[in-house]
Amino acid sequence: MKGTILTIAEHRQNSLREVTFELLALAHELGKAQGLESVCLLLEGEEQSLEGELKGWCERVLVLKAKGLEVFNQEIWQAVILKVMGDRRPFMVLFSHTPWGMDLAPSLSVSSGYPLATDCVSVVIRDGTPLATRQIYGGKLFAEVSLRPSGTYLISLRPGSMRVENPFGLVTQIESLMGIEIPQKTKKVFKEFVDTGAGEIDISQAPFLISIGRGIGEREKLEEIKELAERMGALISCSRPIVDKNWLPKYHQVGTSGKTVKPKVYMALGISGAFQHVAGIKGSPTVIAVNKDKKAPIFRVAQYGVVEDLFKIVGALKETLGG
Amino acid sequence: MLELWTPKYLFWPILLIALFAFLRSILSRIQVLRMAQKDPRLDHLKERFRSLLLDGIMQWRQPRYPFSGILHLVIFWGFVVLSLRSLQLLSYGLGISILSPFETGAFWDLYGLLKDVFEILVLFTCLLSMARRLLFNPPRYKGSHEAEAYLVLGLISFLMITDILFEASYCLLAEKNELSISQAMAIPFLKFSRTSLEVIYNLSFVLHILAFLFFLNLLPLSKHFHIITALPNVFFRKLKTGSIKPVRYNVQDIEDLEYSGTKYIYDLTWKHILDIYTCTECGRCSDNCPANLVGRELSPKMLTLKLRESIYKTYPVTVQKKERPNPIIPGEVIGEGEIWSCTTCGACERECPVFIEYIDKIVDMRRYLIEQGQGPSSFNQVFINVEKTGNPFGKPPAKRADWAKEAGEIPVRILKKGDQVETLLFVDSYPSFDPKANEVTLSVVRGLHKMGEDFGILGPLERDSGHQVRRMGEEGLFELLREKNRNLLSEIRFKRIVTIDPHSFNTLKNDYGLQIPIYHYSQYLYLALENGRLKPKRVIREGTYTYHDPCYLGRHNGIYGEPRELLKGILDAPLREMSKSRDRSLCCGGADVGLWYEVREEERMASKRVKMALEIGADHIVTACPFCMIHLEDAVKTMGLEERLMVVDLMGLIDSCL
Amino acid sequence: MDVVVCLRRVPFTQEVDLEIDKGQRQILAENLAFVLNDWDNYALEEAISLKERTKGTVTAITVGTEEDEEVLRRALAMGADTAIRIDSEGLTLDPRNIARLLARVIRGLRFHLILTGAQSDDLNEGCVGAMLAEELGLPHASVVNKIELGEDVLEIKVELEGGIEEISTIKLPCLLTIQTGINEPRYVSVMGIRKAAKKELKVVTIEELSLDKEALVPDVYVERLFYPPETGGAEILEGDPHIVAEKILRILRERGVIS
């Protein structure tokens, strides 16, 4: 039997999450090189048919349709995946390193006994075992990790690690899974989704964002930035620490836990560029980063960088703009 | 004296009742003093007696407010002179004659004249004071007990009037013919019958004594307690400004305390309670308090009055001993807005005629809040940064001396343990990391280099001096920093420490207890200018200058002259004084709480200060503190005055002339 | 409610230029300062405030060396009742083994809720919590940013990507991994920590947990650390602030976002 790479599809509110395609891209890349079949496992509700979206992205989709699978539940997912893993013995299982993936992959690793490397940004297979690259210390260093030899390897991938454009044109077989029992009673019960992004302004549509991070230091300094933004006709967005400190409402936040933005210009002031943040600005063609720390990861994604105290630049910008 | 109608035995019970009531009140007040914390105040006795004479008896601080100051001096001296008279009258009423050995001769004649003069002066002053309050009530009296002020002024006037009437009627009845003021006062009564005069004589006497005893009992219940407590309060004053009191005196292991800082009234020291008793409600503190001036929640006077009200309510003179009172903080008596508004600039303490202390009390309340985790949340990261990296920004210690890379040709020696150097430059955190303050650091280094000074810095080993965190109330952290810095300093041999920031200067000098000379650069460079080691190559001819005294250089450490002399050494341009200067300098916003916590205010302190510079037509504000420079420059920018006014550091200016 | 909170001490690396040691598997930690992992600090605050609201207890646990006890003392100062350190005995432990050790100790404790940080500042693995829950057979949820108390059940909010939050209920006992921003962690003063130094701190050895050191084979093994590749990266705009400002404005005009 041909070895497989099993990808766990993630979907929410009746659409597949983009990270699923990233996982499939990785599976495709590794599968091609190693002669492994890329198989996607899709657990969905009775009324759902998300498998159509997966056509061309993998060689096989295993679909399990049942009531209660509309929304992710770790207890159910874990039971199903354990069963599938037991039946198919995949070489590798790919998860997304999202809150749901963080819920699922580690406990699966414990219950299955297979080793797991989380939050990987790239994976290669060398001598038949995976070698994953992880970013540590806020992206200041990279680590290459190997896994304990095992029949199956579990990997969770950081969203935003793979470039996703078009399907790979694969012939996709859809296979329905039968005879898998779904736990009816779970200890965790889903209630609802809430959109926290709604607010007075909508940064996701803004053409020009001035975004601030921890580097502004003090809340009072916010006024200076607001003034500049007003004069330039930009909206203000921010990174997570600013919201955590309650300096700005949540709807200003850019990043995986905030909004994904796609302005023409994104000016990042005092933002170091943690991946959670950077993932939210991938759609911006021009990123200008101002940061005192020349090694800040933001400079790796920015087109233009200024290594300087941000307030010096803000002051100079205001002066140059004139009264 | 003439026989009184009233029998002697009538006065004895009245006096005893009055004295009993008075003593009871006093004991109740003393009881709170005894409950309060220890506070040794018997050191430097010579200095204390000197201060008692100059500040207590001569009341040198009074004329800082000329008009009311002189009024007060007259009333005070009246009290001093007339106390003898009161004793005389009292003994007279009681039918004992303790003063009779003195009641003769030239001394007594002179005293009689003096007494008459002062009675008239005091009466006149009281009337003037009442008129002044009525007509031009200064805003600093807001919140004071105004009715009580009138009552007491009225009472004093009444005492004067009754004694004048008594003396005048006496003169006529006794047919005394000496030339005296009392006789002049008697003129209106010349035509009175003997009986009428006797009525006046007896009535004025009785009323005077009753008023006197009433007044005596009023003292411990009112702001006029200061008549009794002011002199001791001056005597026991804090002699070392700039320092902060320890968490507890005479407690070895402060970890054993249930909590640190001030939570209940008895967590204050006895001296601080005495302060509270002594407040005269004159409001000079608040009139000079920058926080109060910019509309922050704090008024030092009201802080004292609220504490006093709380003490008087919790420990009333009528009931003895109540155990656990309510806490005074947070928010019970003193609000957090008040506690965090203070910049510890010391203007209130410098102004107070009776030397009431504020900074120690406020810092001690902060200590309580910080230990309970009730401080502003914005402090958390700052404290953790200081603890972990030795600076409030959380910068890596390894980068502490990075500024020195900008020094170009000048070698900046980074000292290691065991090294020896003449002058140790203690840079501290802001001058190490803040880009604006870096410029000052570099100019100090250039200055020292040009003087040929053998100097070095501690670099990555140096930690924040702790001035900030101590005044923010994080005492444990301060102790940690002090210990580490002291240990480090003990392993390097040097002759003196020079600092850049007046705050580091202050804390090393007053909080560290180091046995080595510590200079602010302005002092050290002034010495160099004096002995010719520092030779400016040019003088500045253009511009109009004013010098802004940093609180921790001026008020807290008395350094006013050196920076000005240095300026004169390089200026051939006008140097003007702002309306508030030297020990009345207005704080720019401070170097502790204000940097990390947004206090509600109507105006920035720095912008008020900038306006003062504009008033005298200055186009350059010179200061000698990186924080003053940062705050003032910020204000100049926000006010859009960059074209009209420049903020420069003294050292930067000197540097440009070397 | 009795809460167990798991803590980790991590290097404070803000603006630090990290160096890799000769063996290439670790960073040079000599000159680094260490702090409580930020996420764990939120978890700890949440545990303490739950204790205060429900009159329960808090047990703080860490796996590490004697130096790591610092985070436990912080927890004690904050209000934890008991602190336990599992001695790591010089082993480099991967998440799986950390979860294993924690589970051994926690099994013997009385608790209703276990809290951990959602991830750690240093290695960012974000998996000890869920692994521990599975070891103990507990329901769990990751990246929780709100907890409301109910009868034997909690209502929780989980922060998903894209500004969407998931509200669900979870039965007690359970394990939650905590996201930053869930609360405002209180400050623990240096004096508070000094005072807490007098409180008892239990140390458990691996042997006492009836585990064999040899059996603690890591699932994940760090082969090497390396510096991020110098990708094209940003074009650095040089010059004094005014020149830089001019350059920025030119770019903004070119992109048509200012006139």
**Residues B595, B599, B600: CA angle, nearest 5 degrees:** 150
Q: Which two tokens stand for residue A42?
A: 């899709």
| CB pair distance less than 8 Å for C244 and A316 | yes
Question: What's the mean pLDDT in A259-286?
Answer: 85
Q: Does C254 touch chain B (CB under 8 A)?
A: no
How close is the nearest chain A Cα to the Cα of C159, in Å? 7
Q: How many C-beta atoms surround the C-beta of residue B380 within 10 A? A: 18
Measured distance CA(A98)–CA(C161) in Å, rounded:
7
Contact A219 B378 (CB under 8 A): yes
Per the prediction, chain B carries an average pLDDT of 92
Helices (H), ranges, B289-358 = 290-293, 300-314, 336-341, 347-351
Which tops the pLDDT comparison, B183 or B134?
B134
A231 to chain B, any CB pair closer than 8 A? The answer is no
% of chain B at pLDDT higher than 70 = 98
pLDDT at B317: 83
Q: Which architecture characterizes domain A203-321 according to CATH?
A: 3-Layer(aba) Sandwich (3.40)
Q: Which residue in A217, A218, A309 is closest to B435 by CB distance?
A: A309
Task: Please determine, for residue B450, whether its predicted confidence score (pLDDT) is greater than 60.
Answer: yes
**Could you give the residue ranges of the DSSP H alpha helices within B8-44?**
8-35
C contacts of A116 (beta carbons < 8 Å): 96, 127, 219-220
Q: Give the nearest partner residue to B370 out of C12, C15, C189, using CB atoms.
A: C189
Q: What are the structural domain ranges in chain A?
A: 4-176, 203-321
Nearest beta carbon to residue A102 from set C126, C228, C246: C126
User: With a cut of 0.95, is the ipTM above it?
Assistant: no
Q: Would you state the pLDDT for residue B177?
A: 64
Chain B: give the shortest CA distance to residue C45, in Å.
Answer: 11
- B477 pLDDT above the threshold of 60: yes
- Locate B61 and state its tokens: 């601080």
Question: Mutate which of C35, C190, C193 to test chain B, going by most B C-beta atoms within 10 A?
Answer: C190
Each residue of C84-126: pLDDT tens digit? 999 999 898 999 999 999 999 999 999 999 999 999 999 999 9
Burial class (CB in 10 A: 0-12, 13-18, 19+), C232: exposed
Cα distance between residue B218 and residue B438, in whole Å = 58
E strand spans, B459-617: 496-499, 518-520, 545-548, 575-576
Is the model's pLDDT at B2 over the cut of 90? Answer: no
- Average the pLDDT over B526-539 and give the result: 93
Q: Do C198 and B255 touch (CB under 8 A)?
A: yes
Please state, rounded to an integer, the average pLDDT across all residues of chain A: 91
pLDDT of residue B409: 87
Q: What is the pLDDT of residues B284-334, one digit of tens each?
A: 999 999 999 999 999 999 999 999 999 998 888 877 665 677 888 877 799
Nearest CB to C244: which of A17, A195, A306? A306
Mutate to test the interface with C, among A100, A102, A277 (most CBs of C within 10 A): A102
Q: How confident is the model at residue A1 (pLDDT cuts 50, 70, 90)?
A: very low
pLDDT digits (tens, 9 = 90+) for B5-56: 777 778 889 999 999 999 999 999 999 999 999 999 999 999 999 999 999 9
In a 13 Å sphere around the CA of B288, the CA atoms on its Cβ side amount to 25
- pLDDT at residue A2 in the model: 67
- Using alpha carbons, list the distances in angstroms from residue A177 to A10, A24, A39, A59, C14: 17, 20, 13, 16, 49
Per domain, the residue ranges of chain C are 2-215
Q: What domains are defined for chain B?
A: 44-235 (no CATH), 261-319+327-371 (1.10.1060.10), 391-530 (3.40.50), 545-655 (3.40.50)
pLDDT in tens, B587-623: 999 888 888 887 888 999 999 999 999 999 999 999 9
Of A220, A224, A295, which to mutate for an interface test with B (greatest number of B Cβ within 10 Å)? A220
Lowest mean pLDDT: which of A61-65, A274-278, B50-54, C83-87? A274-278
Q: pLDDT per residue over C155-177, tens digit each?
A: 999 988 777 899 999 999 999 99
Tell me the residue type at A10.
E
Q: Please state which of the ranges B182-196, B511-525, C46-60 shows the lowest mean pLDDT.
A: B182-196
pLDDT at A301 over 90: no
Considering the domain delimited by A4-176, tell me its CATH architecture: 3-Layer(aba) Sandwich (3.40)
Token pair of B583 as six digits? 């020990």
Residue A220 to residue B598, Cβ atoms within 8 A: yes
Residues of C in contact with B387 (CB under 8 A): 190
Q: Please state which CATH number belongs to domain C2-215.
A: 3.40.50.620
Portion of chain A with pLDDT greater than 90, in percent: 63
C-chain residues within 8 Å CB-CB of B395?
A: 14-15
Rounded Cα distance between B200 and B38, Å, is 52
